[in-house]
């Protein structure tokens, strides 16, 4: 308890959440969404892969970095 997490709503604000209670059936978090998300990166990613199973992992990573165009 007392840990601080970075959180956000999809297509909305970002901020922090503080864990205030943990039990077997629930976790209560005090949420403070007070910032606008950063502007997405203006970049296009081009990939050429020989191992298709790596594609999913790479797309998840670059999406979390803010690249919107593949």
Supply 12's token pair.
């909305």
Give the per-residue pLDDT at 56.
81
Give the per-residue pLDDT at 15.
95
What residue spans define the domains of the chain? 1-37, 38-70
Of 62 and 29, more confident: 29
Question: What is the band of 7 on the pLDDT scale with cuts at 50, 70, 90?
Answer: very high
Supply 33's token pair.
């969404």
Given a cut of 80, whether residue 4 has pLDDT beyond it is yes
Q: How far is CA 36 from CA 19, 30, 33, 49, 56, in A?
A: 22, 18, 9, 35, 28
**Arithmetic mean of pLDDT, 48-61:** 80
Contact 7, 17 (CB under 8 A): yes
- DSSP-based helix, strand, coil % in the chain, nearest 5: 20, 45, 35
- Tens digit of pLDDT for each residue in 11-51? 899 999 999 999 999 999 999 999 998 887 788 888 877 67
Supply 8's token pair.
């956000």
């Amino acid at each position: 308890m007392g840990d601080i997490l970075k959180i956000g709503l999809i297509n909305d604000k970002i901020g922090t959440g503080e864990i205030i209670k943990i039990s077997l059936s629930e976790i209560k978090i005090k949420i403070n969404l007070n910032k606008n998300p950063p502007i997405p990166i203006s970049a296009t990613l081009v990939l050429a892969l020989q191992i298709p199973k790596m594609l999913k992992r790479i797309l998840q990573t670059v999406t979390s970095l803010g690249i919107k165009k593949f």
